Amino acid sequence: MADNNRAVIKLKERFAADIVDVKEFRGEVTVTVKKENIVAICNYLKAELAYNLLTDVTAVDYLGQEPRFLVVYNMYSIANKDRLRVKAQVCESAPEIDSVVGLWSSADWLEREVVDLFGITFKNHPDLRRILMTEDWVGYPLRKDYPLQGPDREPYKGRLS
């Protein structure tokens, strides 16, 4: 069914070398791509296929696998009433990907959350200041290898210094 999806057909025509996987589960289509052309892919989805609303940017940590991370973009086409999920593979050795803030201003704070919680940086982001964690926070709380009690806390020792 995912192969019949309008966006999947167009993406395969235009970015065949960048598409890693296409899946559909319970009516939701997910396209996994290589990170190198994420801005071009997102621009195409927005400009040509009317995915004009970026509803979320987040990440998933697959500790022990390579690539370790997937950056997840949830998009919606208001005109077509259609949702699409795009996942971009990000390696642990170079946890960075290009920013899509230039396409959707809503990506600004969403990408900053991913930086704070997963440690994945977004190249060309206009302002990567911390948004959720304090400036002195150590580590990335949503990574699978983050200590459950927090960094250097056995048990709670108060504020990090």
Give the residue with greater pLDDT, 152 vs 86: 86
Class of residue 145 by CB neighbours under 10 A (exposed 0-12, middle 13-18, buried 19+): exposed
Average pLDDT, whole number, for the chain?
91
pLDDT of 25 > 80? The answer is yes
pLDDT of 156 > 60? The answer is no
CATH superfamily of 2-123: NADH:ubiquinone oxidoreductase Nqo5 subunit (3.30.460.80)
Distance between the two ends of the chain, CA-based, in angstroms?
53
Domain extent listing, the chain: 2-123
pLDDT of 161 > 90? The answer is no
What is the reported pLDDT for 99?
98
Q: Percentage of residues in the chain with pLDDT exceeding 70? A: 91
What is the reported pLDDT for 1?
56
DSSP one-letter string for 5-74: -HHHHHHHHH-GGGEEEEEEETTEEEEEEEGGGHHHHHHHHHHTT---EEEEEEEEE-TTSSS-EEEEEE
The 10s digit of each residue's pLDDT in 43-99 is 999 999 999 999 999 999 999 999 999 999 999 999 999 999 999 999 999 999 999
Predicted confidence band of residue 123 (pLDDT cuts 50, 70, 90): very high
pTM comes to 0.90
pLDDT of 151 > 70? The answer is no
Predicted confidence band of residue 152 (pLDDT cuts 50, 70, 90): low
Q: Please provide residue 134's backbone torsions phi and psi, each rounded to the nearest 5 degrees.
A: -70, 160
pLDDT of 30 > 60? The answer is yes
Give the residue with greater pLDDT, 156 vs 47: 47
